[in-house]
Amino acid sequence: MANWDWQVFCKDTIDGEVVANCWGSGKDITYLHWMVEAWGWTVAVSLVGLVIALVVGSLVGVMRTLPNSPWLVRFGNAWVELFRNIPLLVQVFLWYFVLPKMIPVMKGFPPFVLVVCALGFFTSARIAEQVRSGIQALPRGQRYAAMAVGFTTFQSYRYVILPMAYRIIFPPLISESMNIFKNSAVAFAVSIPVLAQFYLQAGEETGAQVEMFVGVTALYIVSALAVNRIMTAIEKRLRIPGFVAPGGTGGH
């Protein structure tokens, strides 16, 4: 096996010379600098995707549990089946290539927006499924109690059902947030400069496949762990003594 050469990260991306401060200046950057920028893209794609997924997923999930609205329930179910049964990579291609062709307005959208939508909508189906199961896991008495004190449907969701449901589904939401970081790697297929894309390009340019792989994988693992720590801390803060949330496992 070839000798490892960690200095490669300090090399200039243009002339391949080792730069003293390992970072470069202005447009003259090192591979380390480039990798950190790629990490920034990964974080940006994942976080914006996560926000979309949480908002849309919550709406669709709530929709699927509404009483006396069979068409909204059907729409919610169809949404989940649609976005869950098409591979993420194919969905990325649909957003990036197909939709702009079918809907002329979308031609002007930057690739970042399209990829973030793909990732967010894909994940929204999984979150909607969890929100639905969280709401349905609550004893029916909770809903009746809210009705009995004269709450409207909106009020009973806002003050009674959702605060409990979100606490129940927090563990699977944590693994979904970690998943979205991992899934964001797929954005490389449409040339968004995320970490996976950096790995392909930098590995080829420098020939330092092993070093680049170790660096990029480490950053992915660190990101996923950081998300896990942050979300677990939030979960602890929100926890209500006496209620134990059941655990759950996510896909990938």
Partner 1 sequence: MLGLDFSFYNWDLITSYVLKGLYFSIFLTVVATAGGIFFGTLLALMRLSGKKWLDMPAAFYVNGMRSAPLVMVILGFFLLVPFIIGRPIGAELSAIITFIAFEAAYFSEIMRAGIQSIPRGQVFAGQAMGMTYSQNMKLVILPQAFRNMLPVLMTQTIILFQDTSLVYAIGAYDLLKGFETAGKNFGRPEEAYLLAAVVYFVICYALSFMVKRLHTKIAIIR
Binding site for partner 1 (CB under 8 A): 1-2, 81-82, 84-91, 93-94, 97-98, 101-103, 178, 181-186, 188-189, 195-196, 199-200, 203, 209-210, 213, 216-217, 220-221, 224-225, 249, 251-252
Q: Which of 134, 127, 142 is nearest to 174 (CA)?
A: 127
Which single residue is written with the structure tokens 């990036």?
96
SS3 206: helix
C-alpha radius of gyration, the chain, whole number: 22
**Helices and strands, counts by H and E, the chain:** 11, 2
In single-letter form, the type of residue at position 193 comes to P
Give the nearest distance from C-beta 196 to partner 1 in angstroms.
Answer: 5
Our CB check for partner 1 shows the closer of 131 and 185 to be 185
Our CB check for partner 1 shows the closer of 60 and 146 to be 60
Residue 19 · residue 12 · CB < 8 Å: yes
Give the nearest distance from C-beta 175 to partner 1 in angstroms.
Answer: 9
**Count of beta carbons in the 10 Å neighbourhood of residue 97:** 11
**Count of beta carbons in the 10 Å neighbourhood of residue 18:** 12
Give the nearest distance from C-beta 79 to partner 1 in angstroms.
Answer: 13
Residue 124: exposure state from Cβ atoms within 10 A (0-12, 13-18, ≥19): buried
Our CB check for partner 1 shows the closer of 48 and 160 to be 48
Give the nearest distance from C-beta 22 to partner 1 in angstroms.
Answer: 24
Our CB check for partner 1 shows the closer of 152 and 217 to be 217
Residue 31 · residue 213 · CB < 8 Å: no
**Count of beta carbons in the 10 Å neighbourhood of residue 236:** 9
Give the nearest distance from C-beta 178 to partner 1 in angstroms.
Answer: 7
Our CB check for partner 1 shows the closer of 161 and 186 to be 186
Give the nearest distance from C-beta 217 to partner 1 in angstroms.
Answer: 5
Our CB check for partner 1 shows the closer of 21 and 249 to be 249
